Structure 1
Amino acid sequence: MVVLNPLKVVITNLESDKVVELNAKRWPDAQNDDLSAFYKVPFSRVVYIDQSDFRMKDSKGYYGLTPGKSVLLRYGFPIKCTNVVFADDNETVREIHAEYDPEKKTKPKGVLHWVAESSPGKEPIKIEVRLFEKLFNSENPAKLNDKWLTDINPNSKVVVSDAYGGSILKDAVVGDRFQFERLGYFAVDKDSEPGKLVFNRTVTLRDSYGKGGK
């Protein structure tokens, strides 16, 4: 699992020195009886979710986290947001406080990917992620003749420099391929250096042309 824009979540009812090892799948549709498809991920007092998975106000059809609402951490436990800590501007959310349900009695609809500290105070692996989309907004820019340049997608390449990755990525080498849940398929780029892995998205999970390039 990889979190592109990390938002800190403090699990207040989990001991600060406790780390629980959970089973996660190497690819989401792996069979449960295939032991080679599983690896261990740490669950600790500090986890990170994506900023896009939190809002201050809930709405119909939104399955992310909001104050007083519960979500399920993928392969882990349900958590409920109990408090929000803002930055000095009183608008930017700096971190979230939440309680987890160790008995898993809560059955929320929303399921979020996440990354945790492997030990107290030790940040997850920081990686660079390069997101590639279609170069053009339409399927056939040649139809625009000399105006084809106006069809270029300005978001055809987006670089995220401070993403967090799960521990399974620590030994990745150039050419290794992974599926990042909810994000697509990625390969390790040759620009990677010791302590700074770079991942290129090779395939998305949807066809943007089907939605008008949006």
Structure 2
Amino acid sequence: MAALDPIKVMITNFEEEKTKARDGSMTFEVQNSPTDESLGSHTVTLTSTIYIDSSDFRLVDSSVYYGLAPSKAVGIKYHGGNLFCDEVVKNGDKIVELKCHIDNSEGRKKPISFITWVASDAIPCEVRVYGHIFTVKEPTDRWEEEISPDSELIHAKALVDPSVREVVDKKYVNKWHSNCALQFERIGYFVVDTDTKFDSESNTGDLVFNRTVSLKEEVFKKELTAEEIAAMNQRKAKAKKANAEKEERMKIDPMDFFKLAAEFKGKYSQYNEKTGVPTHLADGTELTKSAIKKLAKELDKHRKQQAKYKAANK
């Protein structure tokens, strides 16, 4: 688990709930892969102070929001109890801390969602989230204006579960090979960046992750203008015309290539009976040997392209 933009959460009744827990433990075993037990497991320990991602909290709740909000409860992943927000501590407009309590009573209302968290011993890291380069599906001639400011977001103060120490260390980082890949629950898939200098034994050094795949397709935010739509349609029409011309070209028999191909049509008057290569220009002028040789290469190129086209469209 990880929190890219962490918010501190103080669990006010933690000690009380800990005594109620089985064996007085707040440690839970988690599979490294929810679908493959052979990949092993690791443990996570709930502490009196945890951190959640800012995307999982809102000051103003709504019927379509399933995260935490004032006077609202959500489930705590792996613990199973409800986390209820009692108080929001702010410094100006910035949220500094949430004071919450755990409700693990038998008659508690079942939460509609469970949020992920990291404990107080979470490891600081930098997380680079890469998204779509453009704000539209098909960039127009004004592509510089369509570059998304969110194509690279750097979370310099992210936190990740300390279990990453088991698989991430600077001695394993190699710029010539793929590095360790991990899934941060509910966030996406990430790979260790070569800027990582993290020492798992001393727990020091920079730890850097790059997102490779998001867990859901991101929605393009920008609406196309009429001018952009017209330019896009023009490009599509041009591409469609080029594809149609290519298809017609691939249908031309090599013997008729210089008679029917658009760029050669009408240029020549006589052709070699065996190869179809032109021997005379339209005005009757005989072609030089070098010109005929050049045209023969052009015909050979057409034959090869036609063979590939036919093989691909069987």
- TM-score, normalized by the shorter chain, greater than 0.5: yes
> Mind listing any 5+ residue stretches in structure 1 that lack a counterpart?
119-123
SS of 2:163 mapped into structure 1 = helix
Task: Choose which of 22, 26, 47 in structure 1 pairs with 2:32.
Answer: 26
Query: How far did residue 75 of structure 1 move?
Result: 1.3
SS of 2:62 mapped into structure 1 = coil
Greater alpha carbon shift after TM alignment, 91-100 vs 40-49: 91-100
| 1:2 and 2:2 are equivalent in the alignment | yes
SS of 1:163 mapped into structure 2 = strand
> Mind listing any 5+ residue stretches in structure 2 that lack a counterpart?
19-24, 174-178, 199-204, 223-314
2:135 partner amino acid: N
Query: How far did residue 104 of structure 1 move?
Result: 6.2
| 1:167 and 2:171 are equivalent in the alignment | no
- 5 Å-filtered alignment, 1:4-153, equals 4-15=4-15, 20-27=26-33, 29-30=34-35, 34=37, 36-76=39-79, 77-87=81-91, 89=92, 91-103=93-105, 105-106=107-108, 107-118=110-121, 124-141=122-139, 144-145=140-141, 147-153=142-148
Q: Which has the larger radius of gyration?
A: 2
Q: In the alignment, which residue of structure 2 is the partner of 1:203?
A: 213
Greater alpha carbon shift after TM alignment, 149-158 vs 35-44: 35-44
Q: In the alignment, which residue of structure 2 is the partner of 1:190?
A: 194
Q: Is the 8 A contact 1:42 1:117 kept in 2?
A: no
SS of 1:15 mapped into structure 2 = helix
Q: In the alignment, which residue of structure 1 is the partner of 2:279?
A: none
Q: 1-side partners of 2:133 and 2:57: how far apart?
A: 30
Q: Is the 8 A contact 2:71 2:84 kept in 1?
A: yes
Q: Is the 8 A contact 2:72 2:84 kept in 1?
A: yes
Task: Pick closer, same or farther for the CA change 1:176–1:98 going to 2, 3 Å.
Answer: same
Query: How far did residue 37 of structure 1 move?
Result: 4.4
Judging by fraction of residues, say which structure has more strand: 1
Q: Is the 8 A contact 2:137 2:220 kept in 1?
A: no
Query: How far did residue 57 of structure 1 move?
Result: 2.6
Q: In the alignment, which residue of structure 1 is the partner of 2:239?
A: none
Greater relative contact order (Cα < 8 A, sep 6+): 1
Provide the TM-score with structure 2 as the length reference.
Answer: 0.58
Taking every aligned residue pair, what percent have the same amino acid on both sides?
35
Q: 2-side partners of 1:26 and 1:84: how far apart?
A: 33
Greater alpha carbon shift after TM alignment, 77-86 vs 62-71: 77-86
1:6 partner amino acid: P
